[in-house]
Structure 1
Amino acid sequence: MRALSLRLVFQFQTLSFRASSSRPITLFLHRNNNNNLLNNKSSSLTPPFLDTNNHSRVRKIWTFSPLCMGRRSSKIAGRKEAQDAKKAKLYSRIGKEVVSAVKKGGPNVASNSVLAAVLEKAKELDVPKDIVERNIKRASEKGQEAYIEKIYEVYGYGGVSMVVEVSTDKIHRSVAKIREVLRDYGGKMADSGSVMFKFTRCRVVNIKVTNADKDQLLNIALDAGAEDVIEPPTYDDDTEEDRSERYYKIVGSSENYSSILSKLREEGIDFEPDNGSELLPNTTIEVDDEAMDLNKEVMHQLLELDDVDAVYTDQK
């Protein structure tokens, strides 16, 4: 019997390996004399397509460890990495706002009210001073354009909606990258307005449940004029470790946000600020374990893009 040919072509994004990274492998499956594929099982996530050059079936698979379907495995994976990524996104977003403000009105804070407001927000959110200064200098560099803020709306798995916030100096680049992620990991770009009405924009402070109790936060929120304190979600299979990694959310407005932060500092409570605002879902959708893990992977890949500042979802 004639041997079937199997050709693996590796496409590496970088030469260095990271435990959390994933790299695509393009798998070419050639037909034998009976016109049968070596592997003709179809995939609902990465459907095969036809290579017009050699008429072979092509599949794209990924070299990360298989997703562990189940709420517990999804919840405990990469917590530290997620927190570091969130902080990096905050610094990146403030940096872009600094660049745009300087581009519009110059580096003089006294005459540039937009820059003054951005610097005040950076101070409020504890953004390091060197990041601000570096981006003020960067704004004067030749060829550096102002950043434009865009919002893209996405349908995920299981009826879940997502909102992708972008700050970019190249619109065509950012939308092309987002479409590439959705093509490779699932999801569908939605029409403008199809998703946004499901969310409300607020100022939010995130407090780990181990750093304060609900009654304490309610008193702080009441004193500061906050709108609400949202308790973290719970699941039937939660462990003590799971619960300890959850966050309360104090919901406020631009007017009382500084007051909320000040009172938390006075009480010695550690917190994580938002990146200028957050979108909170009006209602949440509960999906099965598989859809939940797939949606989290889509969000993770979107957040890996430099132009993407935040991704919000109504998934519970």
Structure 2
Amino acid sequence: MGSLQAFGVILKRFPLNSIIHKSPRFFHPHSSGLCSSSSLAAVTSSSPLWAFDSELKSRGNQVRRIWMSPVCMGRRSCKIAGRKGAQDAKKAKLYARIGKEVVSACKRGGTNPTSNPLLTTLLEKIKELDIPKEIFDRNIKRASEKGQEAYIEKTYEVYGYGGASMVVEVSTDKVNRSVAAVREVLKDYGGKMADSGSVMFKFRRARVVNVKASNVDKDQLLNISLDAGAEDVIEPPEYEDDTEEDKSERYYKIVTSTENYSGILSKLREENIKFETDGGSELLPMSSIEVDDEAMDLNKELMDKLLELDDVDAVYTDQK
């Protein structure tokens, strides 16, 4: 079953016309059975791809829409393809997660920070991470809206390609909606939901500060971090085919305890070292596994699609 899913994921990446032309015996799956190549050829020869599924439906076939995307070949090209907008997406996820925390805190203790210690803590966190206060104010108002429920945190464990494991962190006001959306992505992109505890033991929770490698001298960062009480500084992975652009997107991870976290940030600011404004908490793999380029590309696509879901806050993997 797994090999069929992998084949389906790869198949989606190629233009439909070229597949039909080169594979006269190709069949397209749909909910009521199989659609023969003759039916596909008849449609695609006279219709653009965007009209493909609707025209088949008009013939009585229930076809699931599949978007065609370019093939991402190899580790380097995949990293380059995924870099555009990555930082903006990361920041948007952070703002969304903070917003959910504000709403939940209001639901539990009211909208006044003076009488709600949870909101006071969140205000300190927002200031610490240089997050615009407008995010806080907007979600205070949102928490007061009729019908707005508190958010519940859920964790889903996933098997990816090549033996890689993933943990999907979700914060949602509708659990049934979030789990259905995650399962739909796994169905479409070849992942598999794992039993509770099957994957989580491969990770550990840690407070982490991310620092762009190009913004700091390695030895300087090590000295500053360890002097400030950091537990470890994880160096970014390096690959033989890395370009200068790839190298500019590497990040050091400063691992620290909760007690030392604020001190680390203060020391970095004191030394004028820029750091990423993230949640300050991550799941780190106990050990990393290496997968081939094909599995890496498929896992990246799967993770990207999971992160596109509104309820998903973070996706972690033990893939190297």
Residue number in structure 1 paired with 2:170:
166
Secondary structure of 2:215's aligned partner = coil
More strand by share: 1
Residue identity opposite 1:193 in structure 2: G
Secondary structure of 1:183's aligned partner = helix
Deviation of 1:63 (Å): 2.1
RMSD: 2.4
Candidates 262, 265, 276, aligned match of 1:261:
265
Instruction: Write the distance in 2 (CA, Å) between the matches of 1:292 and 1:23.
Output: 15
Tell me, yes or no, if the aligned pair for 2:14 and 2:71 is still in contact at 8 Å. no
Deviations 1:72-114 (A, max 9, x none): 1012223241111001000000000000000110011121111
Secondary structure of 1:229's aligned partner = strand
**299-308 or 120-129, which deviates more:** 120-129
Residue number in structure 1 paired with 2:70:
65
Instruction: Write the distance in 2 (CA, Å) between the matches of 1:176 and 1:262.
Output: 42
User: Is 1:51 equivalent to 2:56 in the alignment?
Assistant: no
Give me the TM-score of the superposition, normalised by structure 2: 0.82
**1:24 and 1:292, CA in 2 relative to 1: closer, same or farther beyond 3 A?**
closer
Q: What is the correspondence of 1:88-167 to structure 2 with a 5 Å cutoff?
A: 88-167=92-171
Instruction: Write the distance in 2 (CA, Å) between the matches of 1:204 and 1:96.
Output: 21
Tell me, yes or no, if the aligned pair for 1:209 and 1:244 is still in contact at 8 Å. yes
Give me the TM-score of the superposition, normalised by structure 1: 0.83
**184-193 or 113-122, which deviates more:** 113-122
**1:157 and 1:60, CA in 2 relative to 1: closer, same or farther beyond 3 A?**
farther
Candidates 303, 312, 318, aligned match of 1:314:
318
Residue number in structure 2 paired with 1:279:
283
**1:209 and 1:165, CA in 2 relative to 1: closer, same or farther beyond 3 A?**
same
User: Is 1:82 equivalent to 2:62 in the alignment?
Assistant: no
More helix by share: 2
Deviation of 1:25 (Å): 10
**162-171 or 217-226, which deviates more:** 217-226
Q: What is the correspondence of 1:215-234 to structure 2 with a 5 Å cutoff?
A: 215-234=219-238
Instruction: Write the distance in 1 (CA, Å) between the matches of 2:249 and 2:83.
Output: 8
Alignment gaps of 5+ in structure 1: 1-21, 30-36, 42-47
Tell me, yes or no, if the aligned pair for 1:103 and 1:139 is still in contact at 8 Å. yes
Residue number in structure 2 paired with 1:206:
210
Tell me, yes or no, if the aligned pair for 2:13 and 2:71 is still in contact at 8 Å. no
Instruction: Write the distance in 2 (CA, Å) between the matches of 1:170 and 1:270.
Output: 37
Residue identity opposite 1:209 in structure 2: A
Residue identity opposite 2:121 in structure 1: A
User: Is 1:188 equivalent to 2:192 in the alignment?
Assistant: yes
Identity %: 73
Tell me, yes or no, if the aligned pair for 1:209 and 1:247 is still in contact at 8 Å. yes
Tell me, yes or no, if the aligned pair for 1:121 and 1:276 is still in contact at 8 Å. no
Tell me, yes or no, if the aligned pair for 1:25 and 1:60 is still in contact at 8 Å. no
Residue number in structure 2 paired with 1:14:
none
**215-224 or 304-313, which deviates more:** 215-224
**103-112 or 172-181, which deviates more:** 103-112
Instruction: Write the distance in 2 (CA, Å) between the matches of 1:298 and 1:288.
Output: 15
Deviation of 1:62 (Å): 2.6
Deviation of 1:166 (Å): 0.3
Instruction: Write the distance in 2 (CA, Å) between the matches of 1:130 and 1:92.
Output: 12
**1:139 and 1:75, CA in 2 relative to 1: closer, same or farther beyond 3 A?**
same
